[in-house]
Amino acid sequence: MGKEVKRTAVWFEGQRQVALRQEKVPVVGADEVLVQTAVSAISPGTEMLLYRGEWPPDLPVDETIPALTGAFCYPLKYGYACVGQVVAAGSAVDTAWHGRWVFAFHPHESHFTARPEHLLPLPEGMSPETAVFLPTMETAVSFVMDGRPVIGEQVVVWGQGIVGLLTAALLAPFPLAALVTLDSYPLRRQWSGRVGATAVFDPATPDVLAQVRAALSGPRPYPGADLVYELSGNPAALDMAIAAAGFAGRIIVGSWYGQKRADLNLGGVFHRQHLQLLSSQVSHLHPRWHGRFTKARRLQTAWVQLARHNPAQFITHRFPLAAAAEAYRLLDEAAETAVQVVFDY
């Protein structure tokens, strides 16, 4: 490879403590490539749990991503949305990889080594700023698959952060009777209307549940929502999401609360209404899909939807990696100003 290559990496060193470290890049193995990162995206839900010290201590970081194996404990590197260019390749790697733009489920750092099978080449003509949304779009695709919306259904999405916005964007073209969304921040509510929500509300508004029900356009034998997504990250929202569902309604819980507990009222109409409370998480395909879908097929679906929906429009803040601490502080203290925050390298 020639001279030694150094990289800059983001480390979570403790609760609300982020630092940069200069590290030696590992020697590129014969079956590896060296990637120089161009852009990486912060996951405002998962990464803020880590930043705030709310990650469940008994839960592995991520058993499905090679770069994130191991138990949670500070200090650690984290992140799973990097786009960069292959700048060197080992002797056993096809020379076609050199210069290729790739996506990697990898922590925030300026250079890293990886085996080609752990990288995803960008589709022809796709910008790094679009490709960096791949994990978020795959999550939204997974939510839609697990929710299985049906023509004419009334759908509610609680939470319009980046995952909620992309989920709403995927649902908007469906021939639904209504697509109602809720978020606490005006900026996100504005975007929600732009992506196709038929009604948008502030969940703190008095009598918001009555307003949501009124905005659902189904005939009166079917009051309430057929399908509700709870994507806000706020455990208190789950109880309201349950209350918004109609008879035999499906409530998809896509939020990850970490150590925060959800206080639910299941002693009222929950059982008599035959409500279904369903978890959805992108790490694994639900068993119902195993006959026809693979992880690769779902990722291909996400690539197609990235090209269709132009999620780069949701980037509200760009920070150099040197300002990583400032980026996380913004999401912690002024989340109402942000939709998607990225690092430019």
CATH number at residue 330: 3.90.180.10
Strand ranges for 148-297 from DSSP E: 154-158, 178-182, 199-201, 225-230, 245-253, 276-279
State whether 26 and 166 are in the same domain.
no
Name the residue range of residue 321's domain: 6-132+311-344
Q: Are 137 and 311 in contact (CB under 8 A)?
A: yes
State whether 150 and 122 are in the same domain.
no
Average pLDDT, the chain: 92
> With b meaning 16 or more CB within 10 Å and e meaning fewer, what string describes 78-115?
bbbbbbbbbebbbeebeeebeebbbbbbbbbbbbbbbe
Confidence band, pLDDT 50/70/90 cuts, at residue 70: low
Tell me which amino acid residue 222 is: Y
State whether 28 and 126 are in the same domain.
yes
Residue 287 has pLDDT above 70, yes or no: yes
> With b meaning 16 or more CB within 10 Å and e meaning fewer, what string describes 314-334?
bbebebebebbbebbebbeee
State whether 125 and 142 are in the same domain.
no
State whether 116 and 233 are in the same domain.
no
Indicate which CATH number applies to the domain containing 211: 3.40.50.720
Q: What are phi and psi of 143, to 5 degrees?
A: -65, -45
Q: Is 208 contained in some domain?
A: yes
pLDDT digits (tens, 9 = 90+) for 317-328: 999 999 999 999
- Residue 303 corresponds to which tokens in the numbers above? 């690539």
92-106, 138-152, 165-179, 213-227 — which is least confidently predicted? 213-227
Strand partners, 225: 245
Mean of pLDDT values over 15-43:
96
Q: Is 34 contained in some domain?
A: yes
Q: Are 125 and 23 in contact (CB under 8 A)?
A: no
Residue 2 has pLDDT above 60, yes or no: no
State whether 195 and 98 are in the same domain.
no
Q: Is 302 contained in some domain?
A: no
In the chain, how many domains are there?
Answer: 2
State whether 119 and 140 are in the same domain.
no
Q: Is 71 contained in some domain?
A: yes
